[in-house]
Amino acid sequence: MRRSAAERGPERLRSEVDQVRSAGKLQRSKCRLGRDQERGDADARRDRPRGLSQRDSDRGRDTGRASSDERVADRERGVRPRRDDDDDRKRNETGEVVHAGSVSRTVIHSRIQPIHTGHYTMPADGDRFPGERVVVTAFVIEHPRGVFLFDTGFSPEPRKMIDLYKPVYMRPIEEALRAAGHGITDVKLIANCHFHADHAGGNRHFTRTPIFVQKREVTHARKENDYTHLPHVADFPGAALEEIDGEAEPWPGIRIVPTPGHSPGHQSLVVDTKKGRVVLAGQALNFSSDYARHQYSHELALAGDAHASYPEWIGRFHELDPVRVHFAHDRAIWEREVAESIR
């Protein structure tokens, strides 16, 4: 006859309870491991820039950061991962720590840091601003996934252009990045507004880093001999061009928008920040006052009134409704709040 648990004695009962608890813990551990594996695979797919193959994504991956498979293996061995991998936390524009799970379900905010990459001098016998120094600005975008760099500074070639616009001050891109608290290896993705040597000349320093560029810009650069210096811009060893046709979103909250005019494949960057969308317009126009004029022409057009011509992409910017618009050759910034304050 089978005896009750009480008859078998307290020691035997405790032993059986411990066995049940151990089995339950093992089952729950297996379930958690399976969920962690699925979550890690989803993270890996989400982190890949849209339009990039797995091979191209690996080129831009931070090799110092453990992959999802490596993190799962560490958990199996009982190795505690670093805090960033453990609790998956990121920082927003103000420096507050934000859980990445909540960020992925909402707008991802980046922080923008303009960096000075040098200047060139307008010809003394020219019609526009003779003898004036024209600044050149690139932009560091600090995104939760890493640093996105918009433009890379100067190349000393082609020599003909340097001689035409001398004196030219070319600040090394390493120095400019260092002033913003970053280094060459921090940069995970790049876009050039266009391939002129004052905007894309530093590309050669970023081997195997994906560089987003419009197909039309690449075609134009290869067709026009004096347009740029391809060995420094696009044909250097380890160059990783990501040719796109139209708008693209390399990372959530960072959008590339074609703005042809200065060159056939000119493009601008639209970045979501805590204060709203910010447009980095490169040399789509030279000055913020040019943008204000075209904005007003577009407003007149919408009202059905007579107006001057304006670039087609002005309408796209109107749809995006940016709070600020930056330009590569102008330190004055167009701000929506200022424009709307005019009564």
pLDDT in tens, the chain (343 residues): 444 444 444 454 345 435 434 444 444 444 444 444 444 444 444 444 554 544 344 444 444 444 444 443 444 444 333 333 333 334 443 333 333 343 445 789 999 999 999 999 999 999 999 999 999 999 999 999 999 999 999 999 999 999 999 999 999 999 999 999 999 999 999 999 999 999 999 999 999 999 999 999 999 999 998 899 999 999 999 999 999 999 999 999 999 999 999 999 999 999 999 999 999 999 999 999 999 999 999 999 999 999 999 999 999 999 999 999 999 999 999 999 999 999 9
Cα(26)–Cα(99) distance, rounded to whole angstroms? Answer: 29
Which pLDDT belongs to residue 237?
97
Question: Which whole-number Å values give the CA distances from 148 to 16, 200, 305, 319, in the listed order?
Answer: 58, 14, 41, 24
Return the percent helix, strand and coil in the chain, to nearest 5. 40, 25, 35
CB–CB of 325/276 below 8 Å? no
Which pLDDT belongs to residue 3?
44
Which pLDDT belongs to residue 283?
98
Which pLDDT belongs to residue 105?
54
Q: Where are the domains of the chain?
A: 16-87, 111-340
Which pLDDT belongs to residue 154?
97
CB–CB of 194/216 below 8 Å? no
For the chain, first and last CA: distance in Å? 97
Which pLDDT belongs to residue 244?
98
Which pLDDT belongs to residue 50?
53
DSSP state of 254: E
CB–CB of 148/191 below 8 Å? yes
Which pLDDT belongs to residue 47?
47
Please determine, looking at this structure, whether the domain spanning 111-340 carries the CATH number 3.60.15.10. yes
Which pLDDT belongs to residue 107?
86
pTM score of the predicted model: 0.72
**Hunting for tokens 């024209």 — which residue is that?**
134
